[in-house]
């Protein structure tokens, strides 16, 4: 009798574990499908010569917080190490749920009064950025990040 109870318990545990793994796999597949429209944005800021460090400070202290506020998800920030671009380049990548969402989030960010005040403060001699290059990218089928 005790042996039968152990078998039933064992079968129940194995069934529960198999069902949990199957359910988790289905949930993961749905998440991958939901993220299939995700797009990445590479942004390269060309600063006034020697102002890359000042721009990094603006991002560290202000802009990254505003990004979070407006659902702009930063994947990472980079500073080139080799001349001639080391003194005047700042690079980052954003992940967006879709191009449409990127457009919506950027519009909200650019309309933010705090961002507008920062831009206004960076006129004339206080100018930090000369040019911004933005490139939207889709991950290829073998990319580890999608």
Please state the three-class secondary structure of the chain as a single string: CHHHHHHHHHHHHHHHHHHHHHHHHHHHHHHHHHHHHCEEEEEEEEECCCCHHHHHHHHHHHHHHHHHHCCCEEEEEECCCCCCHHHCEEEEEEEECCHHHHHHHHHHHHHCHHHHHHHHHCCHHHCCEEEEEEEEECCCCCCCCC
44 and 19, same domain (yes or no): no
116 and 72, same domain (yes or no): yes
Bigger pLDDT: 84 vs 8? 84
4 and 72, same domain (yes or no): no
47 and 116, same domain (yes or no): yes
Above 60 in pLDDT, residue 2? no
- The β-bridge relationship of strands 73-78 and 89-96 is antiparallel
Q: Is 143 among the domain residues?
A: no
Q: Is 104 among the domain residues?
A: yes
- The β-bridge relationship of strands 39-47 and 89-96 is antiparallel
How far CA 96 is from CA of 62, 74, 101, 123, 128, in Å, comes to 20, 9, 7, 30, 26
- The β-bridge relationship of strands 39-47 and 129-137 is antiparallel
Bigger pLDDT: 1 vs 59? 59
pTM, 2 dp? 0.74
Above 70 in pLDDT, residue 15? no
68 and 20, same domain (yes or no): no
How does the average pLDDT of the chain come out, rounded?
A: 84
- Round to the nearest angstrom and report the end-to-end CA distance of the chain: 53
Q: For position 80, which CATH number holds?
A: 3.30.70.100
What is the pLDDT at residue 35? 52
Range of the domain at 5: 1-37
7 and 51, same domain (yes or no): no
134 neighbors 43 (Cβ within 8 angstroms): yes
Above 50 in pLDDT, residue 6? no
What is the pLDDT at residue 33? 43
59 and 89, same domain (yes or no): yes
Q: How confident is the model at residue 26 (pLDDT cuts 50, 70, 90)?
A: very low
79 and 97, same domain (yes or no): yes
25 and 89, same domain (yes or no): no
What is the pLDDT at residue 17? 46
Q: Is 146 among the domain residues?
A: no
Above 70 in pLDDT, residue 10? no
Out of 2-6, 23-27, 141-145, give the one with best mean pLDDT.
141-145
Q: Is 144 among the domain residues?
A: no
Q: What percent of the chain clears pLDDT 90, i.e. is strictly above it? A: 72
């Amino acid at each position: 009798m005790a042996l039968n109870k152990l078998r039933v318990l064992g079968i129940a545990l194995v069934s529960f574990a198999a069902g949990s793994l199957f359910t988790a796999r289905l949930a993961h597949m749905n998440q991958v499908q939901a993220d299939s429209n995700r797009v990445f944005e590479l942004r390269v800021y060309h600063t006034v010569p020697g102002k890359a460090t000042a721009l990094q400070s603006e991002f560290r202290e202000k802009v990254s917080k505003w990004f979070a506020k407006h659902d702009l998800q930063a994947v990472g920030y980079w500073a080139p190490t080799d001349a001639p671009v080391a003194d005047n380049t700042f690079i980052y990548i954003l992940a967006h749920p879709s191009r449409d969402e990127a457009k919506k989030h950027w519009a909200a960010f650019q309309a933010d009064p705090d961002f507008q005040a920062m831009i206004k403060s960076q006129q004339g001699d206080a100018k930090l950025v000369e040019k911004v290059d933005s490139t939207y990218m889709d991950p290829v089928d073998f990319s580890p990040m999608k």
